[in-house]
Structure 1
Amino acid sequence: MKNYTLLPALASALVLGLLTMAPAQAQPGTGGPAPGTPPAAVPLDGGASLLLASGVAFGLKKLRDRRRARQ
C-alpha cells in the first residue's frame, strides 16, 4: 500500500521541479552593469518609512495589550 502513496508524491515533485526549472533557465545571460561602474542609488522614501511606522505601531499595540492582560 505504501507504493500507491509514494507514486503521486514523486510525480507531483517531478512536475513541480520541471515547472520551476524551465523559467529559471530561460533568463538571458547578458544582464547587469559593466564591471567598474558605481552601483545604482536606491531611494528609501515613502514605502520603507511607512513599513517602519506600521511596525512600531504594531509593537506598541502588542505591549499595550500585554499590560492590560496583566491587570
Structure 2
Amino acid sequence: MTIQNKRIFASILFVLISFVCLSQTAPPPPAPPSPPPGFPIDGGVILGAIFALCYGAKKLIAPNLKK
C-alpha cells in the first residue's frame, strides 16, 4: 500500500469510529432509592404519654398535699 492509500484508509477509519461513538447513547439514570420503611407508632408511645400526664399531674398536686 502506498502512503496515499494508507492516509485515505486511516481517514475512513477515523470517520467511521466517530459515527460509532456518536451513535452510542448514555445509559439511563439510576432509579431513585426507595424510601426507608416507616416506623409504626405502637402502644408504647401512648403508654408513655399516659405516664407523662400522670407524672405531671402528681407533681402539680403533690406540693398542695403537704400544706
TM-score range, shorter chain: 0.3 to 0.5
TM-score (norm 2): 0.46
Radius of gyration: which is bigger? Answer: 2
